[in-house]
Amino acid sequence: MEDLANLAIETGIDTGASFVDIRLEYTRKTNLDVVNEVTRNTILATEKGAGIRAFADGSWAFGYTSDLSKAGIKNAAKSITKMAIAASKWTEERYEIEAPSFQDLIEYKGKIPIDKTPVEYKIDLAKRLSKDMSQVDPRVKSARIVYRDIYTELLVANSLGTMVRQETGRLVFIPMCTAKDERSTQQAHLALGFTGGLGDVSDELLQMLVNEPSRVALSLLDSKAVKGGVYDVIADPPLNGAMIHEAFGHACEGDSLTGGSSVLQDRMGTRVGPEHINLFDDTTLKGHLGSAVYDWEGTRTKRKQLVKDGVLSEFMHSLDTASRLEMEANGAARAMTFMYPPIPRMSNTFMEPGDWNLDELIEDTKEGIIMCNVDYGYTDSTKGSFMFKSVHGQLIENGERTDIVRDASIAGQILDILPKIDAICSDFFYDAGSCGTQGQMAWVMSGGPHIRLKQVPVGGV
Amino acid sequence: MKQELIELGHYVIKHAEKLGATQVEAYFESTRTLEVKIEKGLIRLAAEKLDSGCGMRVAIGNQLGVSYVTSILEKDLEQSAQDAVKAAQASVADSDFKSFTSTQTPYPTVKGLFDKELDQLSCEQAFEILTRAVESSKEVSGTERNLIEGGFTAESKTIVIVNSEGITGNSSTTKVKLDISSTISTGEDKCSSWEIQNSRVLAEIDPEKIGATSAQNALALRGAKSMECGEMPLILTPRALWEVLGTGFAEALNAREVQDGKSYFTDSLGSPIASSELEIADNGILSGALGSRPFDAEGFPSQNTMLVKSGILHSYLHDSFTSTRDEVECTGNATRSSYRSIPTIGASNLVVTPGTCTLEEMISEVDKGVLCTFTFDRPNSVTGELSAMIMEGFLISQGEVQHALKNTLFGITMQDLLKKTIQVGSDVENRENIQTPSILIESAKITSGQ
């Protein structure tokens, strides 16, 4: 594989590129979807090929091939470089790619490794979880377990001398529960993900996969649709995490800054929220779904503190954005597969806990709403606006929890929302999610403590 | 390419049968995609992607297994066939599965799906088209600071589907997409909007119009304010209805979701679900349309299916599995975004029949209400409840557009949205596989905050 990588790099440089990189990937995937102990789609897949990029005079070209013969790689490198040179005639910004190089080999280690465990074992596990969820309550009508695992061997090499081989194993569980009674049908889900093996998932977490979605779906049977209005909102950890991810994290991705579109443009070192706010994106955490030792450009990953004591302090960079903004590459480049060019992405994004106790915070909130989990959310980092739809929630009246509500959504402006956070709890929880940007999906984690936001518009029906 | 893929398909079937499969389906794609992205109005990335691969489904009795591989080399296909058989062996029998598609009906001829010019497009031509769009956006914004982003994608694709039940289908299609977003700053006011055009034919792409429209849309959003909350009439333009219907309506008609009781249209067949103004069809054979194809993702012939007529729900969207279970005719709505995804149920072209009034006439009839030109939201597919942020919208007062809106949401159930549609516009627009006009909804809940 190393010789193919070197061939692509040499060919690109000889054709006129000033920087060339290549990702040679071999991935095995398992996707399971088990509903009421019946398998729906059992998928075993192989993705393998080479993605090549060439840079010339401020322009990039990208392409890929699944033809891994010497001739195939050579032809691809040549035609991609020619495309970069053609594109460079249409651009004005001139810069070079400058970055440190890395050489390393990272092996996959996992208890009950996903690549060596037969699919029967995984199906049995999903069936068991589905059965346990069905048995929680007779009103559970559909107990669905989506399971995915992804084993990847990736070789990244570039013309600056990087040659990194990395093996990773990721697994994701998405249990979904549909509950039904004579009044309504309601759904709830959870998403947890890990790097490692099946044996690294604790029994406590497996239990949570069964209990949490069924608890929420059943509680929603008694729910009302929320009435739109302006509320004090307590966001739970998954919603808080999603808000940080969507509303803030995306604006900290290097390419939204080089594109000139981020609302955080020119705000580095300035105050963006109250002093008690600290936000991180940490790719180095052990066992988390977004974790990796090297990124998809072969740069060693780092813990990045996006906001320190309320002040914007770090962005997430690829080689391109770091070179253009003359900052340090910090290992945030990811590609969905070899079929996509790497771009700056989040990994494990979270807010540091504070010192409020949740019960005290509810008591302190005279009239408000607790909003939990995320159905979906999105952001427009140009406008600075975002929107999230929660799955469930509860009204607070006179400092006490009252009616269960569903489908509440929260909307706002990125730069307005952080100052509205007036209380941060001491608890913490992470959940998994898949984030889509520029047509590329990436598995991420996001989380934090419960927080309170003062006076935000909440949409209802 | 077609013949080579058909032969590989028969090879895969034989190989999987040798490994124990009783039925086999092989779905091949060979795609060339040319993609160019712009940033700050300049070319940033050019990509040429050559993707050939195969997705397989095999049955052993009624145990099903699926696999795919990003290659069409014989040895990779053999490995993938083995994976699919292994997956089937490990799976639980699916009593709903009877057979892969075996219809003998010939495929319809759908015109205008392939453009030679697009098939042979060079990256220089793409650079030029994008540059023209950028220039026309700049012309609209004049001296204001205008950040232009966007992209151009041209795709040429050959699909071959072969199964052990006698199906052999092949098609070659082209597609082009131009999207431009303009972010215009005037002092502290920063406004952003976009426009997109999709077609099967290069000559239809109008870069000047797309560039200019994105900038005009952005400029219209200057001076956004919040508004008083309350129940009031709501107009959704074609661009706003595109997202709401494209996801929120088609998903609720997905027969699999209906059968699972997870759609707000469960048990609605033959019932009034919409105002008599609304007529909606799923038309897979519409000449030149983005969602048209001679056969669906399981090799079933495409057709034109009336979904809603005079407000009555006539049909759900079916694939071979759900139609067998409901004992109805298949509607040919199996879709797959690529060989790397599994077939699911989706609309081919979702077509709303245009009405007679213009958008201006609708606005003039509203005393106090909201004009929403874009939202990104979709309803809860089980309950139909929709709480949508108005990404782009305006306050209407006394029949005239007053100002742009910020931090404003509308709330309504899809059931109400369809039933309270009192006018349908003549202004149908196409985006991707959805054709929508403007609609006037009698009342929706508007929430707005600072």
How far apart CA A213 and CA A175 sit, in angstroms, is: 7
Q: Which amino acid is at B187?
A: G
What is the average pLDDT score of chain B? 94
Closest residue in B to A120 (Cα) is: B90
User: What pLDDT was estimated at residue A381?
Assistant: 64
The first and second tokens of residue A451, run together, are 């927080």
Structural domain boundaries enclosing A420: 224-459
User: What pLDDT was estimated at residue A163?
Assistant: 98
Tens of pLDDT, residues A313-333: 999 999 999 999 999 999 999
The reply to whether residue B376 touches residue A46, judged by beta carbons under 8 angstroms, is no
How far apart CA A29 and CA B344 sit, in angstroms, is: 19
Give the distance from CA B296 to its chain's centroid: 15
Task: For residues A195 and A233, state if they share a domain.
Answer: no
User: What pLDDT was estimated at residue B105?
Assistant: 86
User: What pLDDT was estimated at residue A260?
Assistant: 78
End of a domain among A220, A251, A277?
A: A220
Chain A residue numbers with beta carbons less than 8 Å from the beta carbon of B297 are none
User: What pLDDT was estimated at residue A4?
Assistant: 96
Spatial strand order of the sheet with B304-309 comes to: B312-313, B304-309, B280-283, B350-352, B434-436, B429-431
Q: Is the pLDDT of residue B41 over 90?
A: no
Task: For residues A194 and A288, state if they share a domain.
Answer: no
Q: What is the number of CB-based contacts under 8 A between chain A and chain B? A: 235
The first and second tokens of residue B212, run together, are 């200019």
How far apart CA A435 and CA A444 sit, in angstroms, is: 7
**Residue B47 three-state SS:** strand
Give me the residue from B90, B149, B262 closest to A259, CB to CB.
Answer: B149
Q: Is the pLDDT of residue B49 over 70?
A: yes
The pair phi, psi for residue B10, each rounded to 5°, is: -65, -35
**Cα–Cα distance list, A248 to A86, A414, B280 (Å):** 36, 6, 39
Give me the residue from B65, B376, B382 closest to A42, CB to CB.
Answer: B65
* Closest by Cα among A460, A446, A458, A375 to A411: A458
How far apart CA A338 and CA A319 sit, in angstroms, is: 17
Mean pLDDT over A230-254 rounds to: 92
Q: Is the pLDDT of residue A252 over 90?
A: yes
Tens of pLDDT, residues B337-386: 999 999 999 999 999 999 999 999 999 999 999 999 999 888 888 889 89
Give me the residue from A123, A178, A260 closest to B40, CB to CB.
Answer: A260
Query: Residue B186: beta bridge partners?
Result: B189
Mean pLDDT over B423-432 rounds to: 96
Q: Is the pLDDT of residue A433 over 70?
A: yes
User: What pLDDT was estimated at residue B450?
Assistant: 63
Task: For residues A279 and A149, state if they share a domain.
Answer: no
Tens of pLDDT, residues A114-165: 999 999 999 999 999 999 999 999 999 999 999 999 999 999 999 999 999 9
Interface probe, candidates B30, B58, B135, B447, chain A, greatest A C-beta count within 10 A:
B447
Give me the residue from B76, B192, B449 closest to A456, CB to CB.
Answer: B449
Tens of pLDDT, residues B243-271: 899 888 999 999 999 998 889 999 999 99
Residue B299 Cα, gap to closest chain A Cα (Å): 19
| CATH, range B116-157+171-220 | 3.30.2290.10
Give me the residue from B48, B147, B191 closest to A260, CB to CB.
Answer: B147
Mean pLDDT over B46-56 rounds to: 94
User: What pLDDT was estimated at residue A415?
Assistant: 82
User: What pLDDT was estimated at residue A438?
Assistant: 86
Give me the residue from A41, A142, A255 closest to B342, CB to CB.
Answer: A41
The reply to whether residue A387 touches residue B377, judged by beta carbons under 8 angstroms, is yes
The reply to whether residue A43 touches residue B45, judged by beta carbons under 8 angstroms, is no
Task: For residues A49 and A15, state if they share a domain.
Answer: yes
Q: Is the pLDDT of residue B79 over 90?
A: yes
How far apart CA B392 and CA B237 sit, in angstroms, is: 11
Chain A residue numbers with beta carbons less than 8 Å from the beta carbon of B194 are none
User: What pLDDT was estimated at residue A382?
Assistant: 67
The first and second tokens of residue B248, run together, are 């929120």
How far apart CA B431 and CA B433 sit, in angstroms, is: 6
How far apart CA B260 and CA B268 sit, in angstroms, is: 14
Q: Is the pLDDT of residue A266 over 90?
A: no
Task: For residues A99 and A18, state if they share a domain.
Answer: yes
Residue with tokens 């598995």: A443
Query: Residue B425: beta bridge partners?
Result: B357
User: What pLDDT was estimated at residue B407?
Assistant: 85
The reply to whether residue B46 touches residue A59, judged by beta carbons under 8 angstroms, is yes
Mean pLDDT over A450-460 rounds to: 90
What is the average pLDDT score of chain A? 93
Residue B270 Cα, gap to closest chain A Cα (Å): 22
Mean pLDDT over B142-169 rounds to: 95
Task: For residues A202 and A348, state if they share a domain.
Answer: no
Whole-complex ipTM: 0.88
Tens of pLDDT, residues B158-167: 999 999 999 9
The reply to whether residue B262 touches residue A178, judged by beta carbons under 8 angstroms, is yes
Residue B109 Cα, gap to closest chain A Cα (Å): 32
Number of separate domains in chain A: 2
**Cα–Cα distance list, B312 to B123, B241, B346 (Å):** 48, 20, 20
Residue A44 Cα, gap to closest chain B Cα (Å): 5
The pair phi, psi for residue A433, each rounded to 5°, is: -160, 165
Tens of pLDDT, residues B410-419: 999 999 999 9
Which stretch of A374-378, B26-30, B213-217 has the lowest confidence by average pLDDT?
A374-378
Which residues of chain B form CATH 3.30.2290.10?
A: 116-157+171-220
Domain CATH code at residue A179: 3.30.2290.10
**Cα–Cα distance list, B348 to A143, A167, B226, B311 (Å):** 30, 40, 38, 21
Which H, E and C letters describe chain A, residue by residue?
A: CHHHHHHHHHHHHHHCCCEEEEEEEEEEEEEEEEECCEECCCEEEEEEEEEEEEEECCEEEEEEECCCCHHHHHHHHHHHHHHHHHHHCCCCCCCCCCCCCCEEEECCCCCCCCCCCCHHHHHHHHHHHHHHHHCCCCCEEEEEEEEEEEEEEEEEEECCCCEEEEEEEEEEEEEEEEEECCCCEEEEECCEEEECCHHHCCHHHHHHHHHHHHHHHHHHCCCEECCCEEEEEEECHHHHHHHHHHHHHHHHEHHHHHCCCCCCCCCCCCECCCCCCCEEEECCCCCECCCCCECCCCCECCEEEEEECCEECCCECCHHHHHHHCCCCCCCEECCCCCCCCEECCCEEEECCCCECHHHHHHHCCEEEEEEEEEEEEEECCCCEEEEEEEEEEEEECCEEEEEEECCEEEEEHHHHHHHEEEEECCCEEEEEEEEECCEEEEEEEEECCEEEEEEEEECC
Interface probe, candidates A73, A90, A147, A176, chain B, greatest B C-beta count within 10 A:
A90
Does residue B298 contact residue B343 with C-beta atoms inside 8 Å?
yes
Task: For residues A58 and A180, state if they share a domain.
Answer: yes
Whether domain B2-33+42-90 has CATH 3.30.160 = yes
Tens of pLDDT, residues B286-337: 999 999 999 999 999 999 999 999 999 999 999 999 999 999 999 999 999 9
| Coarse DSSP helix, strand, coil percentages of chain B, rounded to the nearest 5 percent | 25, 40, 35
The reply to whether residue A91 touches residue B48, judged by beta carbons under 8 angstroms, is no
Task: For residues A207 and A236, state if they share a domain.
Answer: no
Give me the residue from B46, B80, B261 closest to A83, CB to CB.
Answer: B46
Does residue A305 contact residue A311 with C-beta atoms inside 8 Å?
no
Handedness of CA A4, A9, A10, A12 (dihedral sign): positive
Chain A residue numbers with beta carbons less than 8 Å from the beta carbon of B252 are none
Chain B residue numbers with beta carbons less than 8 Å from the beta carbon of A46 are 67-71, 76, 79-80, 83
Tens of pLDDT, residues B170-212: 999 999 999 999 999 887 788 899 999 999 999 999 999 999 9
End of a domain among A187, A220, A253?
A: A220
Burial of residue A115, with CB atoms counted within 10 A of its CB: 0-12 exposed, 13-18 middle, 19 or more buried: middle
Which stretch of B24-33, B183-192, B227-236, B385-394 has the lowest confidence by average pLDDT?
B183-192
Does residue A440 contact residue A411 with C-beta atoms inside 8 Å?
no
Chain B residue numbers with beta carbons less than 8 Å from the beta carbon of A87 are 36, 43, 45-46, 123, 127
Which residues of chain B form CATH 3.30.160?
A: 2-33+42-90
* Closest by Cα among A264, A255, A201, A212 to A237: A212
**Cα–Cα distance list, B73 to A28, A48, A398, B172, B347 (Å):** 17, 12, 68, 21, 32
Q: What is the DSSP letter of B405?
A: B
User: What pLDDT was estimated at residue A461?
Assistant: 61
Which stretch of A117-126, A258-267, B25-34, B50-59 has the lowest confidence by average pLDDT?
A258-267
Task: For residues A438 and A333, state if they share a domain.
Answer: yes
Task: For residues A103 and A198, state if they share a domain.
Answer: yes
Task: For residues A164 and A98, state if they share a domain.
Answer: yes
Which stretch of A37-51, A202-216, A250-264, B124-138 has the lowest confidence by average pLDDT?
A250-264
End of a domain among A194, A220, A246?
A: A220
Task: For residues A72 and A156, state if they share a domain.
Answer: yes
